[in-house]
A and B are shown apart, each in its own frame.
Chain A
Amino acid sequence: MRIKNVLPVLIIFLMTLSVNAREKLKIVSTTSDLASIAREIGKDRVDIVSFSNGTQDPHFIEPRPSMIMKLKKADLVLLVGMNFDVWLEPLVANARNYKIKTGNSGYLDLSQGIKKLGIPQGKVDGSSGHIHPQGNPHYWLDPENVKVMANAITLKLIELSPVSADYFKANLRDFSSKIDRRIKTWQSTLKPYKNDKIITYHQSWSYFANRFNLDIACEIEPKPGIPPSPGHLQKVLQKINHNKIKAVLMEVFYDPGPAEFLADSTGINVVIVPNSVGGTKQVKDYFGLIDTIVNELAEGMK
């Protein structure tokens, strides 16, 4: 008798669970940064999977068949664009999910609406190194750009789930005001180093340097994606000595050897930081990412 009474309640409970599960939008992002931003907007009404975890060089993610299944079930795919995540294309092609194909409702290239830096002039080929024809794609490292990205994600989520429009808009307002406050803090931390020169390993810090008024004197790589030769390191070394540069800023996944050589030769500080959420265990969201970069760079510039 008791089972008979409990059964309808259990069925209704399970049905409610399944309806709630269905209501959640399934999002796949190519990077953990995009996932972090989307999570701020969608919160508990989205399920997000990222194909890279922040410790990997996102230029070199290898497509795997298991990724196809995640894309097949996705309502929305978020990508950096600008030829940064070109490895996504064969996966989308094989996912048999019409929604997420280029230009369809479930496809969002977040580089749209971003003021792009580093668009190459003239012919683009291998002589320029690993260059992106549409410009430098590391735009998420400027928090002002992240506001533009969050806005685009919000509009897309509203389009896909209009019933949650107010919820997403409220989350966007919270996120934008929080990031505005944090931008002031980050700017104030780096204010003493305004217009100071730094060295970076790869051309990935242009947007960050632009936002925080830092001057990138040169890169350790002679050209994007090309490892430094001893001759090039000598030129960098002279530049460090001539300009009294205090810090090398580089990502966690690059070879620290050349930067350590420069540090041994000149005493320059090597600041190794993640450039994506999850790049170190402490960096769990976008705010943590920029906090880490800003604080460690400020320490290195002293």
Chain B
Amino acid sequence: MKIISKHLIFVFLFAALFLANEKNLFSKENLNNTSAIELPDISLVGNILGTFGSDDHLKNNKKLVVEETELAIQGYLYPAIRMDVIMSLHRHDSTYQAELEEAYVSFLELYLPGAGIHIPDLSVKAGKKLLDIGKINAVHPHHWNYVTRPDVLNSFFGEHGLSGQGLSFSYLLPAPFFCQWDIGAWYIDSADSHDDEEHSENENVDGMSHYNYLTRLWTSFELSQDQELETGLNAITGYGSHYQEHKDRITVTGFDITYEKFISSYQKLFFQNEVYMLKRELPEGTFNRSGFYSFLNYRMNKYWDCGLRYDYVEAPSTDTIIMSHLSAIVTHSLTEMTKARIQYTKSLRDSDYAIYCQLTFGTGPHSHTLE
């Protein structure tokens, strides 16, 4: 991820804290009419992670570290135009780097006053963002129901997910059910997924770079008042994260399916799956790899969740390396944004295991796009 000036981040942080402490802004009158002060939503989210595992190469093994803090500034610029800017201080090799995670403007409907153009079912996003491929890539880690990124996303899209700079269009198709078609063109800096530093160490991770073209067809069906089924078809084509070195072209296609059953006020059954097929074209030949994850979660009550995730992936390297893991996850929710979580992950191909203890915390009006 591109590193921007640390000084700039601190200016933002200082400005946010100044605004948050400004007594007049939070007077009773202003709280009742926040729009009058034109202040964007400001929120801070943190992620503390403890890791204990049998593999000495495991990141931050036998340490408790602040993995990331995220500052989000969000708000409307115009009736149907909103902005989302998300900056983070992210731990890398025992230091913290300031990163611009996302900064994009969403035109919630295409409307150009004076030009006679108004297409209400078409929305446009421009800027830098996590790409809308599948269900998890665009979701920030503190919103996941588990600690670690699924292996298939890690291997095919990089350890920090696919993030790019560009433009995407979303069209809500005139169907009786929810059906949205996304297409986008994105420029992905290989530095965005930190693959520059990590590539030499981990051949199981690739990712993408340069110009990439993405499409997704997202549908959702209300099976009953308490059941929902979502499906997605995804495809992205472009270049490998080390194109200069390997001259590789990559195409990833896949589908996702999510089932939700709302059992009672708080009880919920959640079953999510993403399957991807990767085609990597190198000068010396083409190879195909595939992978998927399957995640089952049961929310027992307002405070407790338990889940199981199975991961399978064929690494996108020239050698055929297969990884499969089984993870058990227990989450305790204090608030919507403050959660304590334990994840036990066991490799099914060797004796390696890892235990993760995570505390995510947040304050302020924080939101992400509909997931």
Residues of A within 8 A of B (CB): 53, 55-57, 60, 62-66, 68-69, 72, 86, 89-91, 93-94, 96-98, 101, 119, 121, 123-126, 130, 133-134, 225, 227, 253, 255
In contact, A96 and B367 (Cβ under 8 angstroms):
no
A60-B302, A94-B108 given as contacts; is B265 within 8 A of A89 (CB)? no
Contact of A94 among B31, B338, B370 (CB under 8 A): B370
Contact of B369 among A57, A72, A90, A98 (CB under 8 A): A90
B345-371: CB near A (< 8 Å → 1, else 0) gives 000000000000000000101010110
In contact, B228 and A64 (Cβ under 8 angstroms):
yes
Question: Which 6 A-B residue pairs are closest in the complex by CB-CB distance?
Answer: A65-B220, A253-B265, A66-B222, A65-B178, A56-B265, A133-B31
In contact, A96 and B218 (Cβ under 8 angstroms):
no
Contact of B123 among A55, A86, A96 (CB under 8 A): A96
Bound complex: CA A101 to CA B302 (Å): 31
Bound complex: CA A253 to CA B121 (Å): 37
Is B303 an interface residue when CB atoms closer than 8 A count as contact? yes
A65-B218, A65-B220, A123-B26 given as contacts; is B108 within 8 A of A93 (CB)? yes
A89-B367, A121-B28 given as contacts; is B228 within 8 A of A65 (CB)? yes
In contact, A253 and B264 (Cβ under 8 angstroms):
yes
Chain B: residues with Cβ within 8 Å of the partner, total of 42
Q: Kindly list chain A residues whose C-beta atoms are within 8 Å of the C-beta of B369.
A: 90, 94
Contact of B120 among A62, A97, A126, A133 (CB under 8 A): A97
Grouping DSSP codes into helix (H, G, I), strand (E, B) and loop, the A interface class, with mixed when no group exceeds half, is: loop
In contact, A125 and B363 (Cβ under 8 angstroms):
yes
In contact, B363 and A93 (Cβ under 8 angstroms):
no
In contact, A57 and B218 (Cβ under 8 angstroms):
no
In contact, A253 and B266 (Cβ under 8 angstroms):
yes
In contact, A55 and B264 (Cβ under 8 angstroms):
yes
In contact, A66 and B221 (Cβ under 8 angstroms):
yes
Bound complex: CA A64 to CA B365 (Å): 20
Q: Kindly list chain A residues whose C-beta atoms are within 8 Å of the C-beta of B172.
A: 68, 72, 96
Cβ distance A137 to chain B, nearest Cβ, rounded Å? 13
Residues of B within 8 A of A (CB): 26, 28, 31-32, 79-80, 82, 106, 108-109, 120-123, 172, 176-178, 180, 218, 220-222, 225, 228, 230, 260, 262, 264-266, 268, 301-303, 335, 338, 363, 365, 367, 369-370
Bound complex: CA A32 to CA B26 (Å): 33
Seed contacts A64-B260, A93-B106; 16 additional CB < 8 Å A-B pairs: A53-B225, A56-B262, A60-B302, A62-B268, A64-B220, A65-B220, A68-B178, A90-B370, A94-B369, A96-B108, A98-B79, A121-B28, A133-B32, A134-B31, A227-B303, A255-B301
Cross-chain pairs A/B with CB under 8 angstroms, 7 sampled: A65-B218, A69-B178, A90-B367, A93-B106, A98-B120, A119-B28, A119-B32
Complex: chain B residue closest to A97, CB-CB: B120
Bound complex: CA A89 to CA B26 (Å): 22
In contact, A126 and B335 (Cβ under 8 angstroms):
yes
Cβ distance A298 to chain B, nearest Cβ, rounded Å? 26
Q: Kindly list chain B residues whose C-beta atoms are within 8 Å of the C-beta of A97.
A: 120
In contact, A65 and B26 (Cβ under 8 angstroms):
no
Q: Kindly list chain A residues whose C-beta atoms are within 8 Å of the C-beta of B262.
A: 56, 62
Bound complex: CA A86 to CA B34 (Å): 14
Q: Kindly list chain A residues whose C-beta atoms are within 8 Å of the C-beta of B266.
A: 57, 60, 253
Bound complex: CA A119 to CA B31 (Å): 10
Q: Kindly list chain A residues whose C-beta atoms are within 8 Å of the C-beta of B80.
A: 98, 101
Bound complex: CA A98 to CA B109 (Å): 9
Contact of B370 among A60, A91, A123, A253 (CB under 8 A): A91
Bound complex: CA A35 to CA B265 (Å): 19
In contact, A66 and B178 (Cβ under 8 angstroms):
yes
Q: Kindly list chain B residues whose C-beta atoms are within 8 Å of the C-beta of A62.
A: 260, 262, 268
Bound complex: CA A72 to CA B122 (Å): 13
Q: Kindly list chain B residues whose C-beta atoms are within 8 Å of the C-beta of A90.
A: 367, 369-370
Bound complex: CA A64 to CA B302 (Å): 19
Complex: chain A residue closest to B365, CB-CB: A86
In contact, B32 and A69 (Cβ under 8 angstroms):
no
Bound complex: CA A69 to CA B260 (Å): 18
Q: Kindly list chain A residues whose C-beta atoms are within 8 Å of the C-beta of B370.
A: 63, 65, 68, 90-91, 94
Q: Kindly list chain A residues whose C-beta atoms are within 8 Å of the C-beta of B260.
A: 62, 64
Q: Kindly list chain A residues whose C-beta atoms are within 8 Å of the C-beta of B26.
A: 123-124
Complex: chain A residue closest to B123, CB-CB: A96
Bound complex: CA A253 to CA B369 (Å): 28
Bound complex: CA A241 to CA B109 (Å): 60
Q: Kindly list chain B residues whose C-beta atoms are within 8 Å of the C-beta of A63.
A: 370
Q: Kindly list chain B residues whose C-beta atoms are within 8 Å of the C-beta of A130.
A: 335
Q: Kindly list chain A residues whose C-beta atoms are within 8 Å of the C-beta of B365.
A: 86
In contact, A96 and B178 (Cβ under 8 angstroms):
no
Bound complex: CA A55 to CA B267 (Å): 12
Q: Kindly list chain A residues whose C-beta atoms are within 8 Å of the C-beta of B32.
A: 119, 133-134
Q: Kindly list chain A residues whose C-beta atoms are within 8 Å of the C-beta of B177.
A: 66, 69
Cβ distance B136 to chain A, nearest Cβ, rounded Å? 16
Cβ distance B314 to chain A, nearest Cβ, rounded Å? 31
Complex: chain A residue closest to B122, CB-CB: A96
Q: Kindly list chain B residues whose C-beta atoms are within 8 Å of the C-beta of A126.
A: 335, 338, 363
Complex: chain A residue closest to B34, CB-CB: A133
Bound complex: CA A69 to CA B367 (Å): 21
Q: Kindly list chain B residues whose C-beta atoms are within 8 Å of the C-beta of A89.
A: 367
Complex: chain A residue closest to B26, CB-CB: A123
In contact, B121 and A96 (Cβ under 8 angstroms):
yes
Bound complex: CA A123 to CA B301 (Å): 30
Complex: chain B residue closest to A82, CB-CB: B32
Bound complex: CA A68 to CA B100 (Å): 30
Q: Kindly list chain B residues whose C-beta atoms are within 8 Å of the C-beta of A57.
A: 265-266, 302
Bound complex: CA A55 to CA B225 (Å): 12
Cβ distance B19 to chain A, nearest Cβ, rounded Å? 14
Interface centre among B178, B218, B303 (most CB of A within 10 A): B178
Cβ distance B27 to chain A, nearest Cβ, rounded Å? 10
Bound complex: CA A288 to CA B2 (Å): 59
Q: Kindly list chain A residues whose C-beta atoms are within 8 Å of the C-beta of B225.
A: 53
Bound complex: CA A269 to CA B176 (Å): 49
Q: Kindly list chain B residues whose C-beta atoms are within 8 Å of the C-beta of A91.
A: 370
Q: Kindly list chain A residues whose C-beta atoms are within 8 Å of the C-beta of B222.
A: 64, 66
